[in-house]
Amino acid sequence: MVSVTEQYEAYPYPDRDPADEAKRLITGSPSHPWEIDHVLFQGRRDWSQPFRALVAGGGTGDGLIQLAQMLTTAGVPYDITYVDLSRAARDIAEARASARALRGITFVTGSLLEAPDLGAFDYVDCCGVLHHLPDPAAGFRALRAALAPGGGMGFMVYAPLGRSGVYPLQAAFGALFDGLPPEARLEKARALLASLPDGHPFRRNPNLTDHEVSDAGFYDLLLHGQDRPYSVSELLDVLNQTGWRLQAFAMPALYDLARLTPRPDAMDDATAMAVAEQLRGTIKMHIAYAVPADDTRQVARGSTRSLVPQLRGVQAASLAKAVQGKPLPLTFKEGKAVLHLPREAAPLLAQIDGRRSLSQIAEAARIDPLRFGALWARVERELCDWGLMLYSSLRLR
């Protein structure tokens, strides 16, 4: 079997060219600073204070570069430690950071299991790594031990239903191509994939595209020798076993059963999220945030009127116009949704500029506090739960 280290030395993932840093910044979840603030720090983090972060299993650097560039742009003092087993992946991440002249990053070649020896961190990023460990629970425990008081983790693990067809092919290719070097495995797997019958679950799954993007994407998706997915129930179990508590999914609406069907009154939250996953059937990864098991903090909510809302992926003026009388369709990787925003909320949405607090928005829109509270609760449920609005005072524009 090709080891995980050998795989990522041959095919660093994801496939990235440092020269592209001059053209674009790749952003996403987890580890967008607004999202970190919103979910882990109630939207009230003091960004004038240093931010210590660990990027555990950083690969070719997407999460690292996003976090470091945004904090640099915002003038936030930071110290980020990157660790990964692959020297080839690290070289690409370093080149990307160099292309942007990013400072404050320490690069380490090693295992995330050594995280407690690297320091104590306000934030841990671990995206797409824990499910590739021989013992994922050991990884969760190591990252918990590296967390500073009051800190939290943003992570991604694969989910089974949205990756329908992947695991039978991984098993088959693993048996057929055992003992071959990575390059030969890739060549033979590509040829065999092309001959799969149309009815194969992999062919019928439109959510899977990595194998079409690059050799690294193909290998990571279909030839990985160590890959286990987590259902919602399994994820909650491993968090509980390793000293963590699920704080929130990055897009909570995906796991909201009430958006799909009436939720039985007696059903607990864990069961409801698991059923929502089963009904959707398209979730191929769980992107979430976790805090220590004994930590009682909550996600930011608009009942705190000093919070500053930030729109992500949508402009306030466009949103205000779009709610004038019709629902707003949304398209995500996991499917489609429709936003239902009240027309009366248009003046509020038009006031969101990344500077005004909720109190200032209400004052500018000339809406009394009680009416504002009722309207804003509806706005928040739609925009925050779909990841389109987050609370943070950090200026990124």
Does residue 238 sit in the same domain as residue 364?
no
User: Is 286 found in the same domain as 138?
Assistant: yes
Q: Which of 20, 10, 123, 13 is nearest to 57 (CA)?
A: 13
Say whether both 315 and 280 belong to one domain.
no
Q: Which residue has the tokens 């910044």?
A: 25
What integer pLDDT is reported at residue 230 of this predicted model?
Answer: 98
Q: Is residue 322 included in any domain, yes or no?
A: yes
Least confident of 91-100, 230-239, 364-373: 364-373
Does one domain contain both 257 and 334?
no
Asked if 110 and 85 count as a contact pair (C-beta separation under 8 A), the reply is yes
Position 237 in a domain = yes
pLDDT of residue 240: 98
In a domain? residue 140: yes
The whole-number pLDDT of residue 120 equals 98
Is residue 298 domain-resident?
A: no
Q: Which domain holds residue 314?
A: 309-391
Q: What is the pLDDT of residue 2?
A: 85
Task: Verify that 328 and 366 share a domain, yes or no.
Answer: yes
pLDDT of residue 315: 85
Does residue 1 carry a pLDDT above 90? no
Cα separation of 211 and 220, whole Å? Answer: 8
| Whether the predicted pLDDT of 325 surpasses 80 | no
pLDDT in tens, 177-205: 999 999 999 999 999 999 999 999 999 99
- Has residue 63 got a pLDDT over 80? yes
In a domain, 122, yes or no: yes
397 pLDDT above the threshold of 80:
no
Same domain, 254 and 387: no
Coil vs helix vs strand at 54 = strand
Do 234 and 335 share a domain, yes or no?
no
Measured distance CA(310)–CA(362) in Å, rounded: 15
> What per-residue confidence (pLDDT) applies to 341?
87
Split into its structural domains, the chain has a count of 2
Phi/psi for 7 (5° steps) reads: -60, -50
Q: How far apart are CA 139 and CA 294, in angstroms?
A: 19
CA 240 to chain centre: 20
Residue 397 lies in a domain: no
**Segment 244-267, tens digit of pLDDT:** 999 999 999 999 999 999 999 999
Task: Please identify which residue in the block is written with the tokens 């200032």.
Answer: 360
pLDDT over 80 at 324, yes or no? no
In terms of domains, do 157 and 48 share one?
yes
What percentage of residues in the chain have a pLDDT greater than 90?
89
Is residue 219 one of the residues assigned to a domain? no
Q: 143 by DSSP, 3-state: which?
A: helix
Kind of pairing between the strands at 244-249 and 328-332 = unpaired
Q: What is the pLDDT of residues 199-237, one digit of tens each?
A: 999 999 999 999 999 999 999 999 999 999 999 999 999
**Does 391 have pLDDT greater than 90?**
yes
Please check whether residues 288 and 322 belong to one and the same domain: no
Preceding peptide of 30 cis, ω within 30°: yes
Closest CA to 289 of 118, 39, 107, 81: 39
Q: What is the pLDDT of residue 331?
A: 84
- Encoded tokens for 113: 């299991």
Q: Are residues 360 and 257 in the same domain?
A: no
**Average pLDDT in the chain:** 95
Amino acid letter, residue 381? R
Tell me the per-residue pLDDT of 108-161, one tens digit each, with 9 for 90 and over.
Answer: 999 999 999 999 999 999 999 999 999 999 999 999 999 999 999 999 999 999
Q: What would the pLDDT profile of 276-317 be if each residue is shown by its tens digit? A: 999 999 999 999 999 999 999 999 999 999 999 999 988 888
Domain co-membership, 249 together with 357: no
277 and 365 co-located in one domain? no
Q: Is 387's pLDDT higher than 90? A: yes
The answer to whether position 205 is within a domain reads no
What the block records as the tokens of 363 is 């004052």
CATH code for the domain of 142: 3.40.50.150
Pairing of β 285-292 and β 244-249: antiparallel
d(CA 61, CA 93): 5
State residue 256's pLDDT score.
97
pLDDT at 329 (0 to 100): 83
Rounded (10°) CA dihedral 245, 250, 253, 256 = -20
Indicate the DSSP class of residue 365.
Answer: H
Q: What is the pLDDT of residue 318?
A: 80
Average pLDDT of 90-112? 98
**In the structure, what pLDDT confidence band is assigned to residue 338 with cuts at 50, 70 and 90?**
confident
